[in-house]
Amino acid sequence: MRKFTTLSDQDILALAISNEEEDGRIYADFAYALRENYPDTANIFTDMAQEEDEHRRALIDLYVRRFGTHIPLVRRQDIAGFMVRRPAWQVQRLGIDAVRGHARQMEADAARFYRQAALRTTDAATRKLLGDLAVAEDRHEQAAGVIERNRLPASKREDEDEGARRRFILQVIQPGLVGLMDGSVSTLAPVFAAAFATHQAWQAFLVGIAASVGAGISMGFAEALSDDGKLSGRGAPLLRGLVCGLMTTAGGIGHTIPFLIGSFSVAMLIAMLVVVVELFVISWVRWRYQETPFGSAIVQIVVGGALVFAAGILIGSAG
């Protein structure tokens, strides 16, 4: 995966063209899906799609003047740090609020990209166009905000700062959830394998602590080094890495602490109950902040946890 800092002016313009084409199609899909129940909102998305097409043409004209007629395929999913767009159909089935929020996020991401891209180019015409497009995307975000203000009740609008909530999800919830899932699930096998192999609570506790701390350090570094946050809006890498690492460690320690109890059978029972609580907490967080249906979240997490748990028991029993 290429880094944004390594892209040339030619690559940046090609990427911008690809982005505008994809965003325009998403807005057109939104307009088509909402045309019957939300005609005013659908009209706004139609206008936004048309503007995206105008942006695309302006970018192509500039590209052809500078680099010729061949435009290489450079997509956002090929660049480290870019937030990949969810398919329009996936957002639509979550309802009008999800569509509205997704549109605002798309425009905020696009404006951020154009500002970062404008800082990297030394060509005056390219810099001017990218700056103008950043301003245009800001206008789009404001239009999406008008939709939200018109549709949301006043009480909810006053109580919730949507921008702050999105940043909180990107910078804290997402890395924390990744860490909690990894710590809670991946450490099940070594902890319970050690428990069933030795039938000694203290030995299982030592293995659990070692696995939790090691996984926390590894996940913390992986998260911090994965993305500098400038394009994705995910914030400081150090903060994300710290949150991810701490939650990974916490996820593993949760079902390790019961093995401090002297009675092996009691420790095992409590540890199993803690595992159930951990899996339900993960499912709730996914439902609350990632718009995952609660039933689906439970099935996905519990099935994965059960498989790892069974692997630990089988391996430990074999010893």
pLDDT tens profile 63-76: 999 999 999 988 88
First CA to last CA across the chain, in angstroms? 42
* Residue 2 backbone phi and psi in degrees, to 5: -80, 150
Determine the Cα–Cα distance for residues 266 and 259; give it in Å rounded to an integer. Answer: 9
* Nearest to 10, CA basis, from 78, 84, 64: 64
Vertex 267 angle, CA 264 and 272, to 5°: 125
- 3-state secondary structure (DSSP) of residue 93: coil
* Whether pLDDT at 17 is above 90: yes
Share of the chain above pLDDT 70, in %: 90
Determine the Cα–Cα distance for residues 57 and 67; give it in Å rounded to an integer. Answer: 15
Determine the Cα–Cα distance for residues 255 and 278; give it in Å rounded to an integer. Answer: 9
Determine the Cα–Cα distance for residues 198 and 203; give it in Å rounded to an integer. Answer: 7
Residue 217 — very low, low, confident or very high, per pLDDT cuts 50/70/90?
Answer: very high
pLDDT at residue number 28? 92
pLDDT at residue number 143? 60
Please, what sign has the CA dihedral across residues 211, 295, 234, 164? negative
Token pair in block for residue 277: 């609580």
SS3 per-residue string spanning 151-215 = HCCHHHHHHCCHHHHHHHHHHHHHHHHHHHHHHHHHCHHHHHHHHHHHCCHHHHHHHHHHHHHHH
Determine the Cα–Cα distance for residues 186 and 35; give it in Å rounded to an integer. Answer: 46
Residue 249 — very low, low, confident or very high, per pLDDT cuts 50/70/90?
Answer: very high
Determine the Cα–Cα distance for residues 311 and 319; give it in Å rounded to an integer. Answer: 13
pLDDT at residue number 64? 93
DSSP letter, residue 228: -
pLDDT tens profile 134-147: 888 777 666 656 65
* Nearest to 56, CA basis, from 4, 27, 18, 10: 18
DSSP letter, residue 85: P
Determine the Cα–Cα distance for residues 124 and 113; give it in Å rounded to an integer. Answer: 18
pLDDT tens profile 72-124: 988 888 888 776 777 777 787 777 778 877 888 888 888 888 888 888 888 88
Given this structure, which CATH class describes domain 4-159? mainly alpha
Token pair in block for residue 180: 């909690």
Query: CB within 8 A of 88, min separation 6: which ones?
Result: 25, 26, 29, 30, 33
Question: Where in the chain is CATH 1.20.1260.10?
Answer: 4-159
Alpha carbon 252 to chain centroid, angstroms = 22
**Contact criterion met (CB below 8 Å) for 187 and 208:** yes
72 beta partners: none
Determine the Cα–Cα distance for residues 214 and 207; give it in Å rounded to an integer. Answer: 11
